[in-house]
């Protein structure tokens, strides 16, 4: 039997083409030019703007350290970007390790060279790895750095990462700081990738918000601007992150009238935190987070700390006020409509990758959670009305989440089985929805009469047991558990809320047919509230109707008429039943008392019946919402107020 080949069996040497000379050692900034994605995340427009962020972050580190209070950013034609600061200036004296090079040249041409490793020069900084400025230099067609220290200026030029000459002495000057000008290399980024003035302006503005002690001056050549970006602007925001948040949510109503904001100083070396939070359902939620002024677009541990603090404090408030729905609230509900800006300053932060999109420092989570939890507890205690309003809003988010999950589970179950209609539904035989009707009737008695009186081809009957749930005041969980409403939704087949689908509605008309008395009117009101809150498009598309069954049967000899109400009865007595002959007037106690033939003739037969289509005019929407909330909502005091205001207009009260 032949021996199976072994991987390590001697054979023809296969390594002839792979020797020591094939091993490349990349020196200086060559690794950056060969693999730019490792350092700036790619070579697209986002990566291009990362170059600007690296230089701007260095200037911001000087400002945060207290050595600069002004930064200038200027964009010129040809994608030439200049960033100036009035900080200490990059050192230009010879480097101890590289005697023939200035510190400036070492910083700009050597990876992992910088003044932010030991923590002596900068207490907190955005730069960590000593690669930011050198990476920008490596990926630029050219870069010029002008440094003014001790009232003396020097300048040096670089081309594609290499020094293009010696450090030049510019003589005495009456200024200080660093000026960096560079032009990104089209060999790296391509000829179609350019700086966006709007994006650079937003970057500068966000930095000004993050550190209220700095003034950033923006300037851009007008020929480069598209849209509303200003050609020149001075950015300084004494209000810090609160100003930032207000600029982001301006024009949108918020759940609370006051924002939750604050800041702590870095007194004990553990770090500083600043935050501004509000809640609004009008726009998509967001959390803009920063660490040492570096934007962390993918969040991280500091965002998790804020999330934990807000959730724990709100749940604690719910427990203090004995709110039974506290257990429903999760962090997702708290953050569902939350708009927040968060900034932390910590020593030696840990990021995921050189682009620093996500903070991974465990200490940041503990710092943010402890600080903001304590302040939020006080904020809730000092503003009880605002706290209750916010908690009620968060509970609504929780109920909505549970409702959507239930609908999703129902939809998933429905997809695996054939359509199953409620057992008590007497469906019509026509398959198409056009021309069909479903009558919603109260009780099995009325349902029995209606089933006998209907046109089987086009009319379906769904009996409902008693008074259905008031959806305007009930929790989402109760809505899902209510069998009568579940049967109704299943019979209509079109879903509710955001899941409503017009094409899946199984009937052309949905007709509410209740007794012509107070109880019947109450049931009709509950059904109208359900459709208004859960299926508003069904109303808007003209599918909802009210049947008008008679309240009286009037007979005089062989003549029979039906009256809808007391006023109609009096009208018939004066017009149809003239003369001295006695008129027998019988009052129907309910639809179940009517003979099927009578019900068909008066209420269900097209051509004879009276239907009222439910419609909400464009100018009536606000008043309708207010009326539904007052009469059917969760607050009994609003109903009591409405009764007080309108009691004088009530007549023929049925008590």
**Dihedral through CA 317, CA 319, CA 322, CA 325, nearest 10?**
100
Residue 192 annotated in active site: no
Determine phi and psi for 483, rounding to 5 degrees: -70, -40
| Catalytic pick among 30, 392, 517, 601 | 517
Alpha helix positions (H), 454-585: 476-481, 483-492, 518-534, 536-540, 566-575
Edge-to-edge strands of the sheet including 584-587?
A: 559-563, 552-556, 584-587
Residue 510: its H or E element: strand 509-513
Alpha carbons 489 and 534: distance in angstroms, whole number = 10
Q: Which two tokens stand for residue 116?
A: 């932010």
Distance between alpha carbon 502 and the CA centroid of its chain, in Å?
26
Identify the DSSP state of 344.
E
Does residue 57 carry a catalytic annotation?
no
Q: Output the CA angle 127-129-131, nearest 5 degrees.
A: 85
Residue 402 and residue 415: Cα distance in Å, rounded? 20
Q: Are the beta carbons of 132 and 58 closer than 8 angstroms?
A: yes
Looking at the DSSP bridge assignments, the partners of residue 79 are none
Secondary structure class of 55 (helix, strand, coil): helix
User: Is 534 in the active site?
Assistant: no
Burial class (CB in 10 A: 0-12, 13-18, 19+), 167: middle
CA distance 167 to 26: 25
| Distance of alpha carbon 550 from the chain centroid | 50
Under 8 Å CB-to-CB from 598, ≥6 apart: which residues?
Answer: 553, 562
At residue 554, the 3 state secondary structure works out as strand
Q: Which of 519, 565, 601, 629 is catalytic?
A: 519
How far, rounded to the nearest angstrom, does the alpha carbon of residue 599 sit from its chain's CA centroid? 51
Are 296 and 369 in contact, with CB atoms under 8 Å apart?
Answer: no
Alpha helices (H) along 422-517: 443-453, 476-481, 483-492
Is 515 one of the catalytic residues?
yes
**Bridge partners of 183?**
142
CA pair distance 444, 425, nearest whole angstrom: 11
Q: Which residues are within 8 A (CB) of 425 and not within 5 positions of it... i.e. 6 or more apart?
A: 460, 461, 462, 487, 491
Residue from 72, 141, 274, 442 carrying the catalytic annotation: 442
Let me know: does 487 contact 418? Beta carbons within 8 Å.
no
Q: Assess contact for 288 and 339: CB atoms under 8 A.
A: no
Ordered alpha helix ranges (H), 416-482: 443-453, 476-481
Q: Among residues 445, 436, 534, 433, which one has the least CA distance to residue 485?
A: 534
Could you tell me if 529 and 469 are in contact, meaning their C-beta atoms sit under 8 angstroms apart? no
- DSSP state letter for 222: G
The span from the CA of 229 to the CA of 562, in Å, is: 72
Please check whether residue 53 is in contact with residue 355, taking contact to mean a CB–CB distance below 8 angstroms: no
Contact 381, 321 (CB under 8 A): no
Catalytic residues: 442, 515, 517, 519
């Amino acid at each position: 039997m032949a021996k199976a080949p072994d991987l390590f069996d001697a054979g023809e040497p296969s390594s002839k083409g792979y020797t020591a000379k094939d091993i490349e050692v990349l020196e200086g900034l060559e690794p950056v030019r060969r693999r730019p994605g490792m350092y700036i995340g790619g070579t697209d427009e986002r990566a291009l703007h990362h170059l600007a962020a690296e230089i701007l972050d260095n200037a911001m580190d000087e400002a945060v350290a207290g050595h600069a209070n002004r930064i200038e950013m200027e964009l010129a034609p040809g994608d030439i970007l200049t960033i100036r600061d009035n900080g200490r200036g990059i050192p230009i004296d010879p480097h101890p390790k590289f005697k023939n090079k200035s510190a400036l040249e070492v910083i700009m041409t050597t990876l992992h060279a910088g003044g932010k490793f030991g923590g002596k020069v900068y207490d907190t900084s955005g730069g960590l790895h000593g690669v930011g400025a050198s990476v920008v230099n490596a990926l630029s067609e050219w870069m010029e750095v002008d440094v003014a220290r001790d009232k003396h200026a020097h300048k040096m030029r670089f081309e594609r990462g290499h020094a293009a000459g010696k450090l030049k002495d510019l003589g005495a000057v009456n200024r200080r700081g660093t000026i960096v000008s560079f032009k990104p290399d089209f060999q790296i980024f391509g000829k179609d990738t350019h700086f966006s003035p709007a994006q650079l302006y937003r970057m500068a503005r966000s930095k000004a918000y993050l550190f209220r002690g700095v003034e950033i001056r923006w300037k851009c050549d007008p020929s480069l601007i598209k849209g509303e970006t200003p050609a020149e602007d001075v950015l300084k925001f004494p209000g810090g992150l609160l100003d930032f948040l207000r600029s982001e949510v301006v024009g949108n109503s918020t759940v609370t009238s006051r924002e939750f904001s604050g800041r702590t100083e870095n007194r004990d070396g553990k770090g500083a935190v600043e935050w501004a939070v509000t809640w609004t359902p009008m726009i998509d939620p967001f959390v803009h987070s920063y660490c040492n002024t570096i934007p962390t677009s993918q969040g991280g541990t500091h965002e998790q700390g804020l999330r934990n603090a807000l959730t724990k404090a709100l749940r604690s408030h719910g427990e203090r006020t004995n709110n039974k729905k506290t257990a429903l609230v999760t962090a997702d509900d708290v953050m569902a409509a939350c708009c927040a800006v968060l900034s932390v300053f910590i020593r030696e932060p840990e990021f995921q990758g050189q682009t620093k999109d996500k903070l991974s420092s465990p200490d940041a989570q503990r710092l943010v959670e402890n600080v903001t939890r304590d302040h939020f507890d006080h904020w809730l205690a000092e503003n009880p009305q605002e706290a209750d309003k916010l908690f009620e809003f968060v509970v609504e988010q929780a109920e909505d989440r549970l409702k959507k999950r239930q609908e999703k589970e129902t939809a998933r179950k429905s997809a695996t089985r054939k359509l199953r209609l409620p057992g008590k539904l007497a469906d019509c035989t026509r398959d198409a929805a056009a021309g069909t009707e479903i009558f919603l009737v109260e009780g099995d008695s009325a349902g029995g009469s209606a089933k006998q009186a209907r046109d089987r081809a086009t009319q379906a009957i769904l009996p409902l047991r008693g008074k259905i749930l008031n959806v305007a005041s009930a929790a989402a969980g109760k809505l899902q558990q209510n069998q009568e409403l579940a049967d109704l939704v299943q019979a209509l087949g079109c879903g509710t809320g955001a899941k409503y689908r017009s094409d899946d509605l199984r009937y052309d008309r949905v007709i509410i047919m209740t007794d012509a008395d107070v109880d019947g009117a109450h049931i009709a009101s509950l059904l109208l509230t359900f459709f208004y809150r859960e299926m508003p498009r069904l109303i808007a598309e003209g599918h909802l109707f009210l049947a008008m069954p008679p309240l009286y049967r009037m007979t005089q000899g062989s003549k029979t008429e039906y009256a809808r109400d007391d006023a109609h009865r009096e009208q018939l007595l004066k017009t149809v039943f003239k003369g001295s002959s006695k008129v027998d007037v019988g009052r129907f106690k309910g639809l179940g008392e009517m003979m099927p033939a009578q019900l068909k003739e008066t209420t269900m037969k097209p051509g004879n019946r009276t239907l009222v289509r439910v419609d909400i005019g464009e100018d009536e929407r606000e008043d309708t919402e207010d009326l539904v909330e007052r009469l059917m909502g969760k607050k009994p005091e609003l109903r009591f107020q409405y009764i007080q205001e309108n009691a004088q207009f009530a007549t023929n009260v049925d008590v």
